[in-house]
Chain A
Amino acid sequence: MTAVLPSDSLAGQAGELAHVASRRDGRRSGTPRVAKHLRDNRTAYLMIAPMVILLSIFVIWPLIYSLYLSGFKISFYKDPEFVGFQFYQYVLESPKFWQSLGVGLAFAAMVVPAGMLIALLIASFIKTLSKRLASFMKTTVYVPAVVSTVVASVLFVFMYQDQGVVNWFLSLINAGPVAWLNNPGTALPAIAVPAIWLGLGITTLIMLAGLLDIPDSYYESAELDGAGFVKRTWYITIPLLKNILLYLFVTGFTAALQMLDLPLVMTNGGPVNATTTPNLFIFNSFRDGTPYSTSFSLTAALLLFVVLGAISVLVFRLINSDKAVDG
């Protein structure tokens, strides 16, 4: 979930925690503990009304409207003209759309595995600490998560300047300077770093919660058998964290694929479209105001939605089914 409408961001992160929680509570609280005689239609409808009305106007209606508009040619001068699936064909035949999808996938491939690996290492480390040190570390690691993507963007642009601190570190080992954001080869990895940094806190906390659920006795007996950290992680932690890892992988993947703010502020898609993620491509084609750009960008957004929706549904089914191993 990228923070586009002001409702996601940390709320999204809290929700991610809640997802994991619900997976656990699911079996217990599948049937809400409400007595039948307490049925109360009027109050209930009054209570859900504001939410239902707002969601209808600002989520459901825009979605239907998108579907509707994607079938029409819209211009200021003429009445909308129905064109069926023509725009879907345009988008699917547009090399820039596919290029942006490639950029999005490459970006996700840089951000998600690296982010999860770092988070797993930090979480494993925090688990070994005393209570006070652990709570200090949890807060420290969480701090970047509350920094806005815009602040992170301008900050990293500053750090990537020719005379900036990143090139100074490089000069200490006699390398560089690198024009990080002006070079098509380095621009995307350079944007991936702040993305990992921003996501680290929440990923670490979720993993830590999962780690704490694994009984210590497993590790103790493994240690007695002489298994080192790598072996314990590979044979105990990863299999038992399977659900959480899968969940983090998919939410991280869909979020990375939808990244908009970082490339928008840091490079605006350049150099030569090397950082034009799918959402940035859609956003920019919406704003560039060429004929039919509205319908075109809406259609691209819907096609992306189909892909992402399919991934999400698939994975949430996987997680909610109890097939996966449980500790």
Chain B
Amino acid sequence: MSAPTIARATTAAGVRRARGLRRGDRNRFLKWLGVVLISLSVLFPLAWMAIAGFKGKTEVLRSPFQFFPDMWDPKNYIEIAQDPQFARAMIVTFIGAIIFTALSLAINSMAAYALARLDFAFKRFWWVFCIMPMFIPSMAILLTSFVVVAQLGMLDTMAVLIIPGVASSVQMFFLRQFYLNMPIAVEEAALIDGCSRWQIFLKIFLPQSAAVFVVVGIGSYMAFWNAYVWPILTITNPDLTQIMQFLGNFRSDRGPQWGLLMAGSTLAALPTIVLVLFFQRYIVNGVRISGIK
């Protein structure tokens, strides 16, 4: 190879590298721009809700339009947090959600374990029985569920909020999917060591279920916390008012106090958002567990 060829080759490569760099920079800039734009537009409504909570009565809706409050005054947040009805609704719903989550994890994981790892008579029938509700639209049973709980004398109790939704085909399905993928060797070893099925479930399967329980448990928690239609049908006692019921009825109960309502909505949305941010890693893992990555 003669000297000129080498020279030309190096400069060509150099030019290509330089151009590549410039293109890489532009790409990186575009990616950052995309990230910022998408995040801003997806999160904007939530940010707007939180901002409105800081606005005074005259600022919150007025023309000419005002984006940020003149003064970042947490008055609305303090007022709504001290509102006895709001505070009570938050606490009652929170307690209900915790009990609901614990019960549904217990019931659904037991059934999931049996349907995944045990062999028993009419298993196929019970499997279809437990999974079928997934395909029944909620409206088809909502109204008669109401009639049924009314006949059982459950209206206006905590039980009516908790019990009817505890057994969940969807959750059971999800947990069973997880248990199906556990290696059988451990189980067999435990059986040889004389463990009972209950011991295997409690001592081997449950401790390994932490990650999947977080995912499924957050699902239960949110379902309860965010429930609206079932509470407005079954709860009339103001002492048991659920938080979404309180917010949904706020405008008709108290008129258009938007600053207060937005502050209350922000506070009510926070627990679930914080949960998800806190367990974000688990949720991603949970999705991977289910075989999706």
A contact residues vs B (CB 8 Å cutoff): 1-15, 17-18, 20-22, 24-25, 29, 32-36, 38-41, 43-45, 47-48, 50-52, 54-55, 57-63, 65-66, 69, 122, 125, 128-129, 133, 135-144, 146-159, 161-165, 168, 171, 194, 197, 200, 205-206, 209, 212-213, 254, 258, 260-261, 264-265, 278-279, 282-283, 286, 294, 297-298, 301-302, 304-305, 308-309, 312-313
Which residues of the partner chain A approach B229 to less than 8 Å between Cβ atoms?
3-4, 260-261, 264, 283
- Complex Cα distance A17/B137, Å? 19
B197 interface hit (Cβ, 8 Å): yes
Inter-subunit contact B31/A294 (CB<8 Å) = no
CB nearest to A208 among chain B residues: B293
B206 interface hit (Cβ, 8 Å): no
A34-B118, A148-B244, A305-B136 known; A155 and B49 CB under 8 Å? yes
Inter-subunit contact A62/B265 (CB<8 Å) = no
Which residues of the partner chain A approach B248 to less than 8 Å between Cβ atoms?
150, 153-154, 265
Inter-subunit contact A10/B222 (CB<8 Å) = yes
Pull 14 A–B residue pairs with CB atoms less than 8 Å apart, ordered by A.
A3-B226, A38-B118, A41-B121, A48-B130, A50-B167, A57-B164, A143-B273, A144-B42, A150-B247, A159-B48, A164-B61, A258-B139, A265-B228, A305-B140
- Chain A's nearest CB lies how many Å from the CB of B14? 23
- Complex Cα distance A97/B209, Å? 46
A38-B118, A159-B48, A312-B135 known; A142 and B276 CB under 8 Å? yes
A14-B219, A133-B35, A150-B226 known; A43 and B118 CB under 8 Å? yes
Inter-subunit contact A8/B265 (CB<8 Å) = no
Inter-subunit contact A171/B227 (CB<8 Å) = no
Interface size counted on chain B using CB atoms at 8 A = 114
A140-B43, A143-B46, A312-B135 known; A51 and B118 CB under 8 Å? no
- Chain B's nearest CB lies how many Å from the CB of A256? 12
- Complex Cα distance A129/B39, Å? 14
Inter-subunit contact B38/A137 (CB<8 Å) = yes
Number of CB contacts from chain A to chain B under 8 A: 375
B contact residues vs A (CB 8 Å cutoff): 31, 34-35, 38-39, 42-43, 45-46, 48-49, 52, 61-63, 65, 67, 100, 104, 107-108, 110-111, 113-121, 123, 126, 129-130, 133-145, 147-148, 161-174, 177, 180-181, 184, 188, 191, 196-198, 201, 215-216, 218-220, 222-230, 244, 247-248, 250-251, 258, 261-262, 265, 268-269, 272-273, 275-277, 280, 283-284, 286-287, 290-293
Inter-subunit contact B170/A52 (CB<8 Å) = no
Inter-subunit contact A48/B100 (CB<8 Å) = no
> Known pairs A129-B31, A305-B137. 10 more at Cβ < 8 A?
A15-B169, A24-B291, A41-B120, A48-B110, A48-B115, A51-B108, A133-B35, A200-B42, A258-B138, A279-B139
- Complex Cα distance A14/B217, Å? 10
A62-B145, A137-B35, A159-B48 known; A51 and B277 CB under 8 Å? no
Inter-subunit contact B140/A3 (CB<8 Å) = no
- Complex Cα distance A213/B292, Å? 9
- Complex Cα distance A305/B135, Å? 9
- Complex Cα distance A136/B39, Å? 9
Contact of A213 among B114, B165, B293 (CB under 8 A): B293
- Complex Cα distance A43/B202, Å? 13
Which residues of the partner chain B approach A261 to less than 8 Å between Cβ atoms?
228-229
